[in-house]
Structure 1
Amino acid sequence: MPQIRLYNSDCIEAMKNIGDHTIDLIVTDPPYNLGNFMKNRDTNLSKMRDNFFGSAGWDDMEFEEWEKSMDTFFKSSARVMKKGGTMIVFMAIIKVETIIKLAQKHGFYYKTTGIWHKTNPMPRNMNLHFVNSTEAWVYFTYKTRTGTFNNDGAMFHDFVETAVTSNGERKYGKHPTQKPESLIQHFVELLSNREDWVLDPFMGSGTTGVVAKRTERNFIGVELNEIYFEIAKSRIEGENK
């Protein structure tokens, strides 16, 4: 059985418990810091969903504060990452340039920026403008220009298409930015091997942990919010029972 370690803690503090250069893959979805930006736009988000991320309290930092926190995250990630390890970071497109700059500062090699396309997005303001159906992901390797890539000779595009998270994956509780398991499994299987160590420092509701356990990877997950931590813990423990 895979080894699973979960921390209900700030990710920087929790990562101090991880040994140097022991992580093979980081797949994570940190705060995009769009709360204040979205509140000032005519999106009606708060009216359309009762768990709008902009009201959660963790997505409304001043830009300089957010940038500093992400810089610390990449510094901590560099310490725990193996040479040749891989990182996938989901991020708002308008923040990608900042993320690349910070990651490169700490030894991560920028590979590409890809897109996740949601086939069934919420039709917010569909009569006013284009419906938002995409999110970006940024692909890095650490200290090398290549890493694990289990493509078996097949061609993989930098465009991943799935439905949004199903209700079945929310049975333990809802998270406002929860990613579907099929999306995360795409990256975990392609960029790591069985018995590798996978880390998600912004675990949320635990999707990366569920996928890591299912695919026989060891997993370390960190989530600050106690409610989401308990959801993640229940989901990961319930996998394969």
Structure 2
Amino acid sequence: MSASGAGTSGGCSIGGVTLRCQRHLDARWQQLDIQEVFSRDGLCRLWNQMLTDGELTGAFTDGVINSAGAVARRGESGHFYCGTRSLTCPCCDGLCGPGYGCNCGPCRQLDAELGAEGTESDEPALSSRAQLQPWQWSDSPSAEQLAACLRTLQREQMAAAAQASLSCLSALRIRQRVAVARRYFTALTPQPPADASDTGARTAAAAISANSIEGSDMEIP
């Protein structure tokens, strides 16, 4: 299968869900009536179809479809592995993973796109409750400590409000419609050529070769 037939477009995050379009499925989406996203049954069917095709990933999935069409999962080393026998290096017996070692080109592409998600190791800040408890039996807090606690309270209130707004049914339906619409319009967008520079180089090489052959057939007076 050619790379263009099984390629994927770059991931797009929508409300904690990442959409990675499988371009070999574009023909199906090009025949879609986009008005279906405004009906409950049509929206649920299209959303479930993207889940079945592996185009949606998030906390509810344990794998990601790479550009070769294989399901890749994050291994012990933090890299993605699909477990296929597609490598030529002798150190890994030709296998991509499954837990550590070398990985194939499509899985390395996933590392480049999604690798940052697994590298964040920032320690969580103290909650407002944890900051307030020591003040009950100790000296009065300083102005800096009070200001820091107020900032923490503001962040917690903003996070709670954002979580409440994202969890309501209307916001969920909007995010689903945006994801389906993005998948539909991605299917209508033509794919760029595989490698225009290589095509130009091959054309130039063929022209030079043809000129050389014509020159060798010329009679010498």
TM over 0.5: no
| Larger fraction in strand | 1
TM-score of the pair, normalised by structure 2: 0.23
Higher RCO structure, 1 or 2 (CA under 8 Å, sep 6+): 1
Structure label with greater radius of gyration = 2
Q: TM-score, normalised by structure 1?
A: 0.22
Q: Which has the higher helix share?
A: 2
